[in-house]
Amino acid sequence: MLKNFPGVLKTSEVIPYLNLPSSKNGNVNVWDLKQRKNLVIFFYHGAYCPHCAEKLQEIADAYQRFEELEAEVFAISFDKLPKLRTLAERIGIPFPLLQDETGETTTTFTFIDPADNVPYPTILITDRFGVLRYQEMVSEAHELPDVEEMLSWLLLIQTECPECSPL
C-alpha cells in the first residue's frame, strides 16, 4: 500500500453507490448484486498499461474460481467503452470493464495519480452486503496482491458468514 496514503474508504463500512457504463452493454449497478454477490473491484490505469493488462489477465484466468466463491469482479478505468470492449476481446475478459469517464466514481473509491491523471491501481473486496473488507492501493498494478490472496479474502468472507456460503 502507498505509504502515508490512507484509503478513501474505511474498512468495515458499506461502499458507496456505483453505477457505470459497462463493456458488456448497459450499466452496472453494484446495488443490483447486494445480498447476492461478494465484489472484487479493480481500479486500473487503463488499456495502455502493460502491468494493468497482466493483472486483468490474471484475474480473467481465475474468474471461475471467483464465481465459485460467489463473487463478481469489476475493473474500472477512464477508458472509453470502445477501448474497453477491444481490451476485453483481446485478453478474453469475462467480467465487466467499467468506464468512469468523469473520474467521479474513482475519487469516491480511491485516488487519482495527479502526475498522470489516472487511478492508482486499487483492489477493493466487499462482502455481499457491500461492506468493505479489504483494500490495497499501489503505484503500479504489478504491486497488487495476486489472485490467490484475493481468493483467500473471499474464502474468509464466506467462512465468516456460513448462512451466506455455498461451502
Q: What is the pTM of this model?
A: 0.92
Q: What's the DSSP call for residue 14?
A: B
For the chain, list the domains and their CATH numbers.
19-161 (3.40.30.10)
Q: Which of 1-5, 40-44, 153-157 has the lowest mean pLDDT?
A: 1-5
Residue 65 CA neighbour count, 13 Å, CB half: 14
Which pLDDT score is estimated for 5? 53
- pLDDT tens by residue, 62-118: 999 999 999 999 999 999 999 999 999 999 999 999 999 999 999 999 999 888 899
Alpha helices (H) along the chain: 50-61, 63-68, 81-91, 104-109, 147-160
